[in-house]
Amino acid sequence: MRELYPPIEPYDKGMLDVGDGNLVYWEACGNPEGRPALVVHGGPGSGCGPGARRYFDPDRYRVVLFDQRGCGRSTPHAADPTTGMRHNTTEHLIADMERLRRHLGIDRWLLYGGSWGSTLILAYAQRHPERVSEIVISGVTTTRRSEIDWLYRGAGRFFPEAWERFLAGAPGTPRDGDVVAAYARLMEHPDTAIREKATADWCAWEDAVLSGETRGTAARPYADRPPRARIALVRICSHYFSHGAWLEEGALLRDAHRLAGIPGVLIHGRLDLAGPLATAWELARAWPGAELTVVDDAGHLGGATTSDHVLAALDRFAANDRA
State the catalytic residues.
Answer: 115, 272, 300
Q: What's the first-to-final CA gap in the chain, in angstroms?
A: 28
Query: How many distinct helices (H) and strands (E) make up the chain?
Result: 11, 8
92, 149, 135, 151: which is closest to 256 by C-alpha? 135
| SS3 track for 75-116 | ECCCCCCCCCCCCCCHHHHHHHHHHHHHHHCCCCEEEEECCH
Question: Residue 208 region, left (φ>0) first, then alpha (ψ -120 to 50), else beta?
Answer: alpha
Q: How many residues does the chain have?
A: 323
Amino acid at 15: M
Q: Which residues of 104-126 are buried (b: 16+ CB within 10 A; e: fewer)?
A: bebebbbbbbbbbbbbbbbbbbb
User: What are the helix (H) ranges across the chain?
Assistant: 90-104, 116-127, 145-152, 160-168, 179-186, 192-209, 211-214, 227-242, 251-254, 278-286, 304-319
